[in-house]
Amino acid sequence: MLVRFFDKLAGFDSVEIDRFFQDSPEATAQYTSLMNDRNVHNSVVFLYFVIFSQIIVAYGRIVGNLGFPYYNTFLSGLAFMLILLSRYAFFKTNIRSISLFLFTAWAATFPFFIIRLGGYDSPTYPIYILVIIYIIAFFYFSFWEYVYVFILIFGSNLAIVFLQQNVNTDDFLYRQVVMLMATVAGLAASYINVNLRRKDFYNQFSIEKKKNELEAAYKQLEATELQLIQSEKLASLGKMTAGIAHEINNPLGFIHGNLENIDGYLNDLKELVRLYDTSPKTNDDVNKRIQAFKQQIQYDFIVDDLAKIIQSCEHGTSRIAEIVNKLKNFSRLDESAKKLVDIHEGLDSTIDLFARQNQHIMINRNYSEIPKVECYASQLNQVFFSLIENAMDALAKKNDGGQITVITGMVSDGNISHDAENYEAIRIQISDNGCGIPESIQSKVFDPFFTSKDVGEGRGLGLSLAYGIMQQHRGRIYFKSDPGRGTDFFIELPSG
């Protein structure tokens, strides 16, 4: 009942804490190590105090001609030796046992010292009470070790009566009652103190454990988010594969066809050169044959058409290189760190990937002069892709094709700004005049895996990942939608 009272008074459950230490050897070892480190520190401080106080007492005894201070010299030497030993691991590991041994030696010898100072006429029990308070405050023992020390102290005080002659009974009983009350109060305080320390460690250990678990979960979440971003990017690129293949196949087709014509032209020119090389140059008949052959192979046309074919092939290879470069600019797989990026370059790369596949949709670019932005270019391009893709889907069912408008600029206090040195954010607006977003689902637009598309057409990750990417950039993404008239998406990236 008394234990439950102290538990309630201190606000802890000793049974729960005991179970925690029993079930967690790691926590027990860590707690023991922590207590040992504190005991070593406090013991060294106490030993310096002992040396200082005993030197003063010894000096007083010598000056007062009270005899040689054997006891004080012994205590000072012992304290100095223990300070030297405190540097060794054995001392640190066994500090509690060493401290208990020292308190035992002190309790056994202190009565003799008190008798020499005057017995009960000297201030005995205040010293004992101060020692009790000091032990509770600065030494980290278990409860039963505290019990052992306090019984020693009470017994040490009691032992003075056996060394003191002519003790007044009333005075003796008074002092013992005071010491008994001090000892009981010390036991109660030590019980609360021990469990408060254990509870404090229990709370810190639990918090640290939860913190580590949260950090691990956060890292796992980051890894999962990165996987989702890459997965969504691959899915997005997969949707463009057919169109990109068509884009590349066109220039490849006429390059291949032109190579056949070039091969025929080269064979004719080789035959012409052979006639020049094998025929006498002064023979008129030979010259006629050569001129006739030039007319037969249409020499003038070959020379003119060959230059056009080469130019056409150059245009085709340039087109292929342009498509590949735009894909590279969009994906930016080689850029994993933040860097200064031209936002317009990323927008153009993303828009061009859609433009030729959706020629019935007009895409207007209304760019303002804006500074470069420090960002993760690949992730930002993924945001552009998701927004433009959604706009394309919203316009897919319009007969007139509709239009998308991309506007960039600087803003300050919510208003357009033209001061490149003093602005709050870069704003990118992507608008369409499609079907808009119904009010009933507008609050769910950025929820993971939410999609208004038919089954199999969308995974509901695009806008959710876009929102997460903007959070990572300390920016924001929001929209305004008028059902039946269109939607405006806004991206804002903070300056600096």
> Would you say residue 232 lies in a domain?
no
> How confident is the model at residue 407, as a pLDDT?
92
Residue 5 above 70 pLDDT?
no
Domain membership flag for residue 301: no
pLDDT in tens, 318-340: 777 766 666 665 555 545 567 88
Angle at 340 between CA 348 and CA 479, to 5 degrees: 55
Residue 400 pLDDT exceeds 70: no
Decide if 350 is inside a domain: yes
What pLDDT shows up at residue 295?
77
pLDDT of the residue at 1: 45
Higher pLDDT, 455 or 384: 384
Domain end point (choices 184, 217, 250): 217
User: Of 189, 217, 245, at which residue does a domain stop?
Assistant: 217
pLDDT in tens, 171-182: 667 777 777 787
Does a structural domain hold residue 328? no
What pLDDT band is residue 490 in, cutting at 50, 70 and 90?
A: very high
DSSP string, 161-213: HHH-SS--HHHHHHHHHHHHHHHHHHHHHHHHHHHHHHHHHHHHHHHHHHHHH
Any domain includes 169: yes
In this structure, is residue 363 part of a structural domain?
A: yes
Closest listed residue to residue 96, CA positions, set 170, 42, 156? 42
Residue 238: pLDDT band with limits 50, 70, 90: low
pLDDT at residue 435 above 80?
Answer: yes
Q: Is 471 left (phi over 0), alpha (psi -120 to 50) or beta?
A: alpha
Tokens of 259: 């190579």
Residue 303 belongs to some domain of the structure: no
- pLDDT-based confidence at residue 405 (cuts at 50, 70, 90): very high
Task: Please give the average per-residue pLDDT across 440-454, as a whole number.
Answer: 76
Check whether 263 has a pLDDT greater than 80: no
Q: How many residues does the chain have?
A: 496
The pLDDT mean for the chain works out to: 76
How high is the pLDDT of residue 428?
92
- Domain stop point among 159, 188, 217: 217
The per-residue pLDDT for 247 is 65
In this predicted structure, what is the pLDDT of residue 165? 62
- Alpha-carbon distance of 411 to 424, in angstroms, equals 6
pLDDT band at 488 (very low <50, low <70, confident <90, very high): very high
pLDDT of 72 over the 60 cut? yes
Sign of the torsion angle spanned by Cα atoms 444, 446, 448, 454: positive
- Is pLDDT of 254 > 60? yes
Residue 406 has pLDDT above 90, yes or no: yes
Lowest mean pLDDT among 96-110, 120-134, 203-217: 120-134
The residue that leads in pLDDT, 61 or 401, is: 61
Percent of the chain residues topping a pLDDT of 70? 74
| Residue 281 to residue 276: CA distance in whole angstroms | 8
- CA distances to 16, 115, 140, 167, 199 from 20, rounded to whole Å, are 6, 48, 19, 51, 10
Residues 341 and 202 in one domain: no
Domain CATH for 465: 3.30.565.10
Mean pLDDT of 448-463: 65
* Contact assessment for residue 318 and residue 250, using Cβ atoms and an 8 Å cutoff: no
**What confidence score (pLDDT) does residue 235 get?**
60
Domain coverage including residue 17: 2-217
**What pairing do the DSSP bridges indicate for beta strands 362-366 and 403-412?**
parallel
CA angle 493, 494, 496 (to 5 degrees): 125
Res 4 pLDDT > 60 = no
Number of domains the chain is built from: 2
**Measured CA distances, 63 to 13, 75, 110, 121, 463 (Å):** 56, 19, 22, 22, 89
Does any domain span residue 256?
A: no
In whole angstroms, give the CA distance from residue 462 to residue 381.
12
Handedness of CA 284, 289, 292, 297 (dihedral sign): negative
What is the crossing angle of helices 124-138 and 169-278, to 10°?
A: 20
**Is pLDDT larger for residue 495 or for residue 348?**
348
The DSSP letter of residue 336 is -
Q: Per DSSP, what are the bridge partners of residue 492?
A: 427, 476
Q: What is the mean pLDDT of residues 201-210?
A: 81
pLDDT in the model for residue 2: 47
Among 226-230, 461-465, 473-477, which stretch is predicted with the lowest mean pLDDT? 226-230
Q: Residues with Cβ < 8 Å from 246, sequence gap 6 or more?
A: 357
- Checking if the pLDDT of 242 tops 60, the result is no
**The pLDDT value given to residue 489:** 93
**Is residue 197 located within the same domain as residue 54?**
yes
Average pLDDT for 351-373 = 82
DSSP 488: E
Q: Residue range 371-389: average pLDDT? A: 85
- Among 57-71, 121-135, 353-367, the range scoring the smallest mean pLDDT is 121-135
Let me know: does 450 contact 354? Beta carbons within 8 Å: no
